[in-house]
Amino acid sequence: MAEQDVTFDAMGSHVRLLIGEPGPGMAPAAEAAERARAFVAEFDAALSRFKPESELCALNADERERVPASKLLRTAIAAGLHAAEISDGLVDPTLVGEIESAGYVASRAGMAGESLDVALRGAPPRRPAAPNPARNWERFAVNDDAGVVTRPPGVRFDTGGTGKGLAADLIAESLRGYSRFIVDCGGDIRIGGADALVHPYEVFVEHPLSGERAFVLKLGGGAVATSGLNVRIWREGDGGYAHHLLDPATGTPAWTGLIGATALGDTAVEAETLAKAALLSGPEDGRSVLADRGGMLVHDDGRVEGVGALAARPRIRIPQPSGTDG
């Protein structure tokens, strides 16, 4: 099965596209891949909190309460708010000051991080993360008719928590009609196309401690995403270790007893949100977070635990349709 296979760096990570045969009247796969690459560049330029010239940074610096925003920025903020809503505030997009205080001010792409194994030995006692009682994300509103975002000036937003998943979803929308395709934005993966149901893609799950491909999932559609502590660990001024997944209640890096979580979902934003929420919830509540859609948890000791649809060996999962009883 010949497919267009394109890989490039963007959003501080890698992006990979596999695109099959175009449907009638559709552009060749190579052209679709080129358009996707241009879109990712536009996405990154508009939504990076590390680029002062980005529209996101302009929004965060704007002193008005009601700020005109492009469709892309509005979509990204809506995705961040959706993630906060379905995680009940665990995946909080308003922790910009907190992540900067923790030491994550500039992009860490390409930087060698500290060892997770060593960091775990010096980490504080494990406990589940909790939502920030202030719930600042609820003070954001997106008005598509007026083309504006409203929020109290000074409350900053970070689209990074759902950015790669959203990029994968938006590119996937543009690839509808191709025989099968996969969009991989830094490990947040979206799959589509009728042929993928017949010939599923194989996606390896990386183990956060060993870095090895520990398992392989055969996926005929939907999305999968992984959240983990292993790629962005740094030393704080006091010698302690920090990472980029914050406990919203404390604003400090979360050490919950889990070092990785992989989640399935209908969309990459959903999968990414569930993976982060599961990791932040810790082992007990993490199982509940992943139970419906399915996923995998990696404990501090390296043990891998399948949850929901992935708890058992090869199977077909038929989710009940939501909102109907028939």
Partner 1 sequence: MAAVTEQTRTAHRPKPALVVWSSIVLFALLFALLTYQLNASQLPAPRPVLVRKVLKRRVVTTVVPTPGRNTVSSSGGSLAEASTPSYAPLTTGAS
For residue 120, how many other CB atoms are within 10 A of its CB?
18
Q: Contacting partner 1 (CB under 8 A), which of 25, 133, 239, 314?
A: 314
- CA 25/CA 160 separation, integer angstroms: 35
Residue for token pair 């241009």: 38
Helix 268-291 and helix 71-86, axial crossing angle in degrees, nearest 10? 0
Which has the closest alpha carbon to 260: 313, 315, 301, 317? 301
Angle at 222 between CA 174 and CA 83, to 5 degrees: 90
Q: Is 311 in the site for partner 1 (CB under 8 A)?
A: yes
SS3 assignment, position 86: helix
Angle at 167 between CA 21 and CA 194, to 5 degrees: 30
For the chain, what is the largest distance between any 2 Cα atoms, rounded to a whole number of angstroms?
61
CB of 290 to partner 1, least distance (A): 12
Q: Is 3 in the site for partner 1 (CB under 8 A)?
A: yes
Q: Name which of 55 and 206 has its Cβ closer to partner 1.
A: 206
CB of 156 to partner 1, least distance (A): 22
Q: Is 300 in the site for partner 1 (CB under 8 A)?
A: no
Q: Is 138 in the site for partner 1 (CB under 8 A)?
A: no
Residues 154 to 173 in contact with partner 1, rule: CB under 8 A: 164
Q: Name which of 159 and 226 has its Cβ closer to partner 1.
A: 226
Q: What is the 3-state secondary structure (H, E, C) of 179-201?
A: CCEEEEECCEEEEECHHHHHCCE
Which has the closest alpha carbon to 12: 156, 159, 230, 164? 164
Q: Is 112 in the site for partner 1 (CB under 8 A)?
A: no
| Spatial strand order in the sheet of 181-185 | 4-10, 13-19, 181-185, 188-192, 222-228, 258-265, 295-299, 304-307
CB of 197 to partner 1, least distance (A): 7
Q: Name which of 140 and 181 has its Cβ closer to partner 1.
A: 181
Choose one: 11-19, 118-126, 137-145, 250-258; the region binding partner 1 (CB under 8 A).
11-19
Residues 49 to 108 in contact with partner 1, rule: CB under 8 A: none
Q: Is 267 in the site for partner 1 (CB under 8 A)?
A: no
Radius of gyration of the CA atoms of the chain, in A: 19
Q: Name which of 65 and 212 has its Cβ closer to partner 1.
A: 212
Backbone dihedral angles phi then psi of residue 264, each to the nearest 5 degrees: -95, 155
Q: Contacting partner 1 (CB under 8 A), which of 54, 94, 179, 227?
A: 227
Alpha helices in 87-198 (DSSP H): 96-101, 116-122, 160-174, 194-198
Choose one: 62-70, 72-80, 148-156, 215-223; the region binding partner 1 (CB under 8 A).
215-223
Q: How many residues bind partner 1 (CB under 8 A)?
A: 70
* Binding map of partner 1 across residues 170-199, x = CB under 8 A, - = no contact: ------------x-x-xxxx-------x--
Q: Name which of 52 and 323 has its Cβ closer to partner 1.
A: 323
CB of 322 to partner 1, least distance (A): 8
Q: Is 205 in the site for partner 1 (CB under 8 A)?
A: yes
Q: Contacting partner 1 (CB under 8 A), which of 128, 228, 253, 286?
A: 228
Q: Tell me which residues touch partner 1 (CB under 8 A).
A: 1, 3, 5, 12-14, 16, 18, 164, 182, 184, 186-189, 197, 200-208, 212-222, 224-232, 260, 262, 264, 266, 294, 296, 303-307, 309-319, 321, 324, 326
